Amino acid sequence: MLETPVFEEMKAKKQVAKAPVLDAVRLYWKDILLTCLIRTGQQAPFVLFTTYLLSYGTGVLKLERSFLFNCVLAAAATSLITTPLFGYLSDRIGRKRMYLIGAFTMLVFAFPYYWLINSAIPAVIALTVVASLVVHDMQYGPQAAFIAESFPPNVRYSGASIGYQLASLTSGGPAPIIATWLMHTYGTSTAISCYLAIIAAISLISAALLKDRSQEDYISVAPRAPDLDAGQPLVASSAKPTLS
């Protein structure tokens, strides 16, 4: 895989970071934190819409596991279209705007989702499960580019990776545990809907605060750590994010 043209130009001009992880944490810790938080309303709902759905549907609604699994499979197949579609739309209207639209839609969708799932009508459940991943993909489609473009090229790989993977610990991993606890404690899916609404609001606010650096010129003015010698070239950090 080739490096991006921006990073190749930085390498040629010796404007790359010596310690990209340290520089990313020291200079762009707010962006790393916001990157983690914007994924809160994307990753946690994804886990609830797929993995936790199987437990909720079989344990609470007494539905067939095979039926729910097929619904998730259909939703995943739909995502093969909607994920690149929303990525394409972000090319046209802007990453940040697309992400804000997705986070707001997730916030609105939080309560209708469980109302429709609780109907126990197979056709309604199937359509709701498919729709849930479409709503999810409104954030997931532009996410990789949005996060990557929030960091300058000399720390892009490090900053994007730390923020992205940190959300797995703070959001995706605990989500089914939190949902199970809420259901056990309050005995109603409304509590889980409130949880979905809160994390969607977190993503909405964080995305609004995350700086869009996609139009900045990093080649003419390369960011440097404050304690580096002016004459010492910064060393390399890959410019292309590899987000899973």
Distance, CA of 202 to CA of 190 (rounded, Å): 18
Radius of gyration in angstroms for the set of CA atoms belonging to the chain, rounded to a whole number: 20
Locate 32 and state its tokens.
């790393």
Distance, CA of 101 to CA of 140 (rounded, Å): 12
Q: How many CA atoms lie within 13 A of 5 on its CB side?
A: 0
For 148-162, what is each residue's pLDDT tens digit? 888 887 778 888 888
Distance, CA of 88 to CA of 218 (rounded, Å): 24
Can you give the pLDDT at residue 233?
41
SS3 state at 211: coil
> In this structure, which amino acid lies at residue 74?
A
Please give the span between the terminal C-alpha atoms of the chain, in angstroms, as a whole number: 16
pTM assigned to the model: 0.80
The domain segmentation of the chain, as residue ranges, is 5-209
Tokens 């999810």, residue located: 136
For 17-65, what is each residue's pLDDT tens digit? 666 678 777 877 888 899 999 999 999 999 999 999 999 999 999 999 9
CB 199: neighbour CB atoms within 10 A? 26
CATH number, span 5-209:
1.20.1250.20
For 176-221, what is each residue's pLDDT tens digit? 999 999 999 999 999 999 999 999 999 999 999 988 766 665 444 4
Distance, CA of 48 to CA of 12 (rounded, Å): 46
Give Cα 217 distance to the centre of its chain: 25
More confident residue, 147 or 231: 147
Among 187, 185, 42, CA closest to 109: 42
